Amino acid sequence: MIMQKHRRRTILICLIILFFILGAAIITPVVILTRRHFEDRLRNDGREGGGVSGGINGGNIFPPGGQSGGIIGPQAASPGAVHGSYVPNQARANAVREAFQFAWQGYRTHAFPHDELRPGTNTPGDSRNGWGATAVDAFDLAVIMRLPDVVADMLNFIPTIDFTRTPTQVNVFETNIRYIGGMLAGYDLLKGPFSTVPHDAIKREQVLKQAVRLADLLCSAFNTPTGLPDNILNFNGGRPTINGSTTASIATIGSLVLEWARLSHLTNDPKYARLTQTAQQFLLKPSPGGEPFPGLIGQYLRLADGAIVDTKGGWGPESDSFYEYLIKMFIYKPSDFGNYRDRWTTAADSSMQYLASRPATRPQSILMAHFDGNHVLPIGYHLDCFAGGNFLLGGNVLKQQNYIDFGLALTHSCRDSYAGTVTGIGPEAFAWYPQTCGSQPGISTVQLKANLTFTPHSKAAAGIQATVDCSQPPPGQDDYFQRSGLWIKAGSYNLRPEVLESYYYAYRITKDPIYQDWAWEAFQAINTNARLAAGFNVLGNVDVHGGANDQGNNQESFFFAETLKYAYLIFAEDGPHQVNYQGQNAFVFNTEGHPIQVA
């Protein structure tokens, strides 16, 4: 009798425990997909009959509204849920720091105070007006790495720059993102989370004054009939004059608002924000006929009247940072830039619907095509690979799982472009054969149906008739094509950061250490193939042993500002300057990788 009571009690306790376990499983949010889960879902959905296809493959990969459609089934993962904890890797961080110190010393010895080192000949170059671009672009990373001697070098130099004089024309876009962005970031970091780095506070304040002086000079760019900025200025020691350009790219027009909003905040002078945000209105409300797909516009605007003059575009050259800054402005100050968020989600939804493409030989991969009107071009650039990180950032901040999933998909596919080459570094440009083309090369006509449930601010199209380029790989690229599903259109590597950038966002938002491993692979490949006696050089061909590192002669300043920065941050300790997985960010990175403090 006693044994029967004990047995019944044991059974009752087990049932109670089972009840609580099942209840916890039901109410606990599903975590963000790891690489392994994510790729398994892609294989199951993309390769089996009736699976998920999208964009120019004719279906719906990622519906908006926080759902993940076919890729992860009916139950959406919670964007706020993550795996484990951030795990710094000091040994890897130190290796990146060593590469920074090595490259800085080479520049300091052979090129300072010129713009950059030409590492093939150990001579200086002045591609950015001769104002010492590398010293300014590398400033904030020296702060983040807590290198007081290097910080002191930069603080001694930056206040001495005479921005009124240069022997070359001034590119407004590049000058803004490198110089103004670099000075603002270094200033904000030294005033904020890195105030303990030894430095001269008086010279720190002079850095802000220099940013203001340069912005005041760049204000002349807006002296056009519409207030749209001319991207080229002539400096002659007096007031700069516009070059008289007839058009400007949407990247130029749309990539000033973040830095200049911060300038207005720091100086309490609204003119910087007013100038850039007035120009931005031409992009937020584009002229008729310049929007081939909802939210996606042509690349160039006419300065005389603001009309869009072409219908080419995508998330690559001449367009990229316009889309990038839309969501970043919302992060900078949500109360002021809700319309920027809305424009970003329209572009993001449209890109997932119309531009997403699966290579026929790797249907588990997803890439974003470019467009020329309603003609879809399955080509990509290294520059495009930032988009994975931008979708991840947007999805995390907006709590929209579909954007996170799409960002991870793009990031993984850009990794294929790296893993498939001999050097382990991706090419400047690549192409693929879309799944929708079947076995018929040439041009294929498809109906791009807007079968997404668009968010309320989006414009839903009934259907778009489009043609797709179904070109096949040229002779001699069979090996790379088999390894990656891609073929190389331009095989160089210009020390670009975009793939590392997306790895960084993927790690910060999922905490999955696989992205640290991929970043380490990429850094090691760069350190092995691009490193010369005093710096890092461009590669002529990423698909040959050694990368043909003797064919170029330039070490761009963005190698410090972005490539090494993202490689370092993914292994470094956590802090307020890092992207926050909860979607509450104290800083937002400009398109040159400079962390700008939010309002």
Q: Binding site for Ca(2+): what residues are annotated? A: 591
Angle (CA) 525 528 531, round 5°: 120
Amino acid 22 reads L
Q: Could you give the residue ranges of the DSSP H alpha helices within 511-569?
A: 514-529, 558, 564-569
The catalytic position among 230, 291, 320, 592 is 320
Annotation marks residue 428 as catalytic: yes
Q: Is the dihedral of CA 452, 456, 457, 460 positive or negative?
A: positive
Q: How far apart are CA 88 and CA 174, in angstroms?
A: 32
The catalytic position among 188, 498, 556, 592 is 498
Strands 379-381 and 356-357, sheet pairing: unpaired
Q: What are phi and psi of 56, to 5 degrees?
A: -75, 0
**CA diameter of the chain:** 104
Q: How far apart are CA 221 and CA 126, in angstroms?
A: 22
- Nearest CA-CA partner of 437 in 473, 412, 472: 472
* Helix/strand/coil for 242: strand
Q: What are phi and psi of 446, to 5 degrees?
A: -130, 155
Three-state SS letters, 336-373: CCHHHHHHHHHHHHHHHHHHEECECCCCCCCEECEEEC
Peptide bond before residue 113 is cis, with ω within 30 degrees of 0: yes
As a whole number of Å, the CA-based R_g of the chain is 25
- Residue 363 corresponds to which tokens in the numbers above? 């249907």
Instruction: Give long-range contacts, CB 8 A cutoff, 24+ apart: 162-166.
Output: 163/131, 163/210, 163/213, 163/214, 163/217, 163/235, 164/217, 164/235, 164/237, 164/238, 165/235, 165/237, 166/129, 166/130, 166/131, 166/235
Angle (CA) 507 141 138, round 5°: 130
Q: What are phi and psi of 272, to 5 degrees?
A: -65, -45
The catalytic position among 174, 230, 291, 384 is 174
Annotation marks residue 320 as catalytic: yes
Q: Which residues make up each annotated binding site?
A: 591
Angle (CA) 385 416 386, round 5°: 10
Strands (E), 369-458: 370-372, 375-377, 379-381, 429-431, 442-448
The catalytic position among 324, 428, 512, 592 is 428
Spatial CB neighbours of 493, under 8 Å, sequence gap ≥ 6: 382, 423, 425, 426, 427, 428, 530, 538, 539, 542, 547
Give me the active site residues, please. Answer: 174, 320, 428, 498
